């Protein structure tokens, strides 16, 4: 039986993507060869890479001043690549600390240069998004995390800053319409909302590069990857192909606008149950609630055994909260059908 998979990442993808990706492993484009055994420089794979990059620009409505890259190393390597490429030798960067991943980004940036944490919600176990801060032109860039996967908070608006705007969108990329042109650099590990683990998306405005006065190691240099069209070394061909299929599926099903409408309906269904059912309570500030990772707890711990047994029996998997928060976390990424959310809500009503 196919499970209702609420895992935070790697996570659910459209069933059709699993199907097509499996076919390509056995026989890619009717070539008689597996996707896994052909050269990444073959005509068929170069076409995949080109289209995977083009589709991102179409979905985000971005022009030729932006470049799209598929790299490796996950969002975690971007924690390092961003300061290497944007933080000048004697400059400083501004960061908000809104969760475990933001803290990880800050830690890496501090290895490269000067970092100011301009706002944090750490004192409240990251249960809200801090909003009262200013970032001036004395900073080389400002870095934020759009969705805090572990704690279940999400930035609903992005601050106007007098410097470059950089965002880790790993866990809510392509989930809602945004003016993507307000960002100078966006990155995301693919495995939350746009593909399998192994590929990392970077969208960068070309004109911001080459200004730090640093010597950048080859793999860490965005300019190298731009120049080589994401083929500076062997790309993760399977992960890029499955990401391409995922984004194509999104585009063919109404694009980001339609995904956002579905995501809003799913989030409303689940949060309404959390708010109206006396057995449950939300974890994060209501105005900052994530529409991707819904965190909640039981009001009465003695019901835990019954609830855990009930959701497992209903075919639900991946509902346990992260160890730093406890309770439960339902990740309802783009590919999660509302029917599966309804199954969870029915279980919540039943205990
Ligand atoms: C999962 C996650 C990461 C880490 O991604 P990796 O690809 O595993 O390095 C970073 N930031 C956010 C917001 C995440 O959700």
CA distance 323 to 321: 6
**Is the Cβ atom of 145 under 6 angstroms away from ligand 1?**
yes
Local confidence pLDDT in tens for the 351 residues of the chain: 889 999 999 999 999 999 999 999 999 999 999 999 999 999 999 999 999 999 999 999 999 999 999 999 999 999 999 999 999 999 999 999 999 999 999 999 999 999 999 999 999 999 999 999 999 999 999 999 999 999 999 999 999 999 999 999 999 999 999 999 999 999 999 999 999 999 999 999 999 999 999 999 999 999 999 999 999 999 999 999 999 999 999 999 999 999 999 999 999 999 999 999 999 999 999 999 999 999 999 999 999 999 999 999 999 999 999 998 999 999 999 999 999 999 999 999 999
CA of 171 to the centre of ligand 1 (A): 7
* Beta bridge partners of residue 4, listed in sequence order: 316
CA of 9 to the centre of ligand 1 (A): 9
CA distance to 69, 165, 214, 284, per residue, from 142 (Å): 21, 5, 19, 24
Inter-residue contact 65 to 119 (CB < 8 Å) = no
CA of 101 to the centre of ligand 1 (A): 6
pLDDT score for 213? 94
Q: What tokens does 182 get?
A: 């307000």
Can you give the pTM of this predicted structure? 0.98
**Is the Cβ atom of 83 under 6 angstroms away from ligand 1?**
no
Atom of ligand 1 nearest to the CA of 147: 13
**Is the Cβ atom of 11 under 6 angstroms away from ligand 1?**
no
CA distance 284 to 294: 9
- Count the Cβ atoms, other than its own, within 10 Å of residue 91: 18
Q: What share of the chain is helix, strand, coil (3-state, %, to 5)?
A: 40, 20, 40
CA distance 108 to 76: 9
Indicate the top mutation candidate among 82, 101, 329 to test ligand 1's pocket, ranked by most ligand atoms within 8 A of CB. Answer: 101
pLDDT score for 118? 98
Fold held by 15-252: 3.40.640
pLDDT score for 1? 80
Q: Considering Cα of 262, then 338, then 19, then 233, what sign does the dihedral take?
A: positive
pLDDT score for 119? 98
DSSP 285-309: -GGGB-SSEEEEEESSGGGHHHHHH
Inter-residue contact 328 to 297 (CB < 8 Å) = yes
101 annotated ligand-binding residue: yes
**Is the Cβ atom of 331 under 6 angstroms away from ligand 1?**
no
CA distance 200 to 207: 21
pLDDT score for 161? 97
263's CB contacts (< 8 A; 6+ apart) are: 175, 176, 291, 292, 332, 334
> Which residue in 187, 280, 172, 276 sits closest to 225, CA to CA?
187
**Is the Cβ atom of 100 under 6 angstroms away from ligand 1?**
no
In what helix (H) or strand (E) does residue 100 lie, and over which residues does it extend?
Answer: helix 100-112
The CATH architecture of the domain made up of 4-11+255-350 is Alpha-Beta Complex (3.90)
Domain positions in the chain = 4-11+255-350, 15-252
Give me the active site residues, please.
101, 168, 192
pLDDT score for 38? 97
pLDDT score for 349? 98
Take atom 11 of ligand 1 and give the residue whose Cα is closest: 101
């Amino acid at each position: 039986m196919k499970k209702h998979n609420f895992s935070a990442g790697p996570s659910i993808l459209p069933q059709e993507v699993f199907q097509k990706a499996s076919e390509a492993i056995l026989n890619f484009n009717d070539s008689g060869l597996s996707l896994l055994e052909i050269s990444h420089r073959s005509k068929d794979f170069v076409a995949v890479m080109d289209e995977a990059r083009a589709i991102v620009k179409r979905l985000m409505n971005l022009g030729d001043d932006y470049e799209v890259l598929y790299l490796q190393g996950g969002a975690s390597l971007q924690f390092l690549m961003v300061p290497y490429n944007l933080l000048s030798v004697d400059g400083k960067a501004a960061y908000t600390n809104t969760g475990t991943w933001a803290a990880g980004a800050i830690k890496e940036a501090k290895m490269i240069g000067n970092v100011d944490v301009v706002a944090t919600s750490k004192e409240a176990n990251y249960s809200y998004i801090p909003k009262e801060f200013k970032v001036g032109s004395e900073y080389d860039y400002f870095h934020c995390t759009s969705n805090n996967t572990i704690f279940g908070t999400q930035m609903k608006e992005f601050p106007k800053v007098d410097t470059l705007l950089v965002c880790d969108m790993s866990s809510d990329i392509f989930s809602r319409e945004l003016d993507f042109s307000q960002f100078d650099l966006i990155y995301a590990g693919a495995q939350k909302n746009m593909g399998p683990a192994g590929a990392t998306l970077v969208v960068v405005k070309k004109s911001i590069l080459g200004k730090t006065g640093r010597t950048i190691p080859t793999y860490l240099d965005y300019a190298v990857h731009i120049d080589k069209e994401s083929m500076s070394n062997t790309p993760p061909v399977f992960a890029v192909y499955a990401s391409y299929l995922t984004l194509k599926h999104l585009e063919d099903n109404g694009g980001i606008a339609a995904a956002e409408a579905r995501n809003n309906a799913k989030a409303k269904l689940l949060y309404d149950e959390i708010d109206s059912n006396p057995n449950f309570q939300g974890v994060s500030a209501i105005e900052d609630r994530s529409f991707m990772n819904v965190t909640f707890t039981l009001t009465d711990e003695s019901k835990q055994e019954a609830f855990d047994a009930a959701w497992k029996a209903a075919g639900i998997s991946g509902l346990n909260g992260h160890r730093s928060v406890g309770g439960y976390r339902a990740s309802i990424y783009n590919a999660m059908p509302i029917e599966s959310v309804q199954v969870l809500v029915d279980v919540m009503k039943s205990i």
